[in-house]
Amino acid sequence: MTRALVLGGGGVTGVAWELGIVAGLAERDVALAEADLVVGTSAGSVVGAQVCSGRPVEQLYEAQLAPPGGEVAARFGFAAVARLVWAGGRTRDAVRSRARIGAMAVAARTPSEASRRAVIEARLPRRDWPARRLLVTAVDAASGEFVVFDADSGVSLVDAVGASCAVPGVWPPVTIGDRRFIDGGMRSAVNADLARGAERVVVLAPTAAAFGPMPRLSAQVAALRAAGAQVAVVAPDAAARAAIGRNVLDPARRAAAARAGRAQAAAVRDEVAAVWG
């Protein structure tokens, strides 16, 4: 039986909410951290690296409740979303759409790559790739190519996660060799289709937002089920959405989002357990 945990994007509050769900389910004897395959996109790449690190889930959760001293506040509101939609939503060609978003990201004024890398590095309990199979998604800023990093890709875990978290127009694209990469969420907020082949799949999706030619989460889940997988999808409930607030890049909302995720775990436990086994 192959089990896959798919972790979607959603900013610093998405990291916190996902870890809250994982911790709350572990408390109720559903160990998502024991997945055979972990797929991480943007915020989910951070959570994926953390849950595969070997550090106890409870410690990872507790860290979300501490003051977010090392995090840098940013804003991802209507204007930022509008820039993404304008850049990528004017074509039905998915690769061209991502390349246009990449061009916008490269031209944007952002903090330095070095300062951003330090933030990403501080989020990771370990710097080397885990023994567990971990897939981290990103997009080539120039070509729009969708890229999946893993332990065999020759890319450091810090750079892979940094690339996956490089929100266009907010954080700088990450330079790896002679290429620059942006957020894997520009292909899909969740990229659940990478779990194809797993028999049991749990998807944690802080957001399922999609625009232009982006594949929808509902279609990805339908394809997984059509291929024979059992799938459970968990998204923030009303209380979690209120805790997360409107700006998913606000570190001040981190603790509230983590607590909301942990509380929500009680309501979704049976549905997730029925899939996870």
Q: How crowded is the C-beta side of 4, counted as CA atoms within 13 Å?
A: 26
- Please name which of 275, 253, 264 lies closest in space to residue 12, comparing C-alpha atoms: 253
State the CATH architecture for 3-72+110-276.
3-Layer(aba) Sandwich (3.40)
Residue 37's DSSP bridge partners are 4, 133
Indicate the domain borders of the chain.
3-72+110-276
Q: What is the pLDDT of residue 82?
A: 66
State the catalytic residue, choosing from 140, 159, 183, 250: 183
Radius of gyration for the chain, computed over Cα atoms and rounded to the nearest angstrom:
17
Residue 183 a catalytic site member? yes
Q: What are the tokens at 53?
A: 């690190």
**Confidence (pLDDT) at 53:** 97
Query: What is the amino acid identity at position 241?
Result: R
Confidence of residue 166 (pLDDT cuts 50, 70, 90): very high
User: Which range is least confidently modeled, 7-11, 20-24, 78-82, 271-275?
Assistant: 78-82
Instruction: Grade residue 79 by pLDDT with cuts at 50, 70 and 90.
Output: low
Give me the mean pLDDT over the 75-81 stretch.
67
Q: Report the pLDDT value the prediction gives residue 114, as an integer from 0 to 100.
A: 97
> What distance in Å separates the CA atoms of residue 265 and residue 28, rounded to the nearest whole number?
8
Query: From the CB of residue 205, how many other CB atoms can be counted at a distance below 10 Å?
Result: 24
Strands 230-234 and 200-204: parallel
- Note if 150 is an active site residue: no
Is it the case that residue 83 has pLDDT exceeding 80? no
Measure the CA–CA gap between 41 and 17, rounded to whole angstroms.
Answer: 14
Mean pLDDT, rounded, of the chain: 94
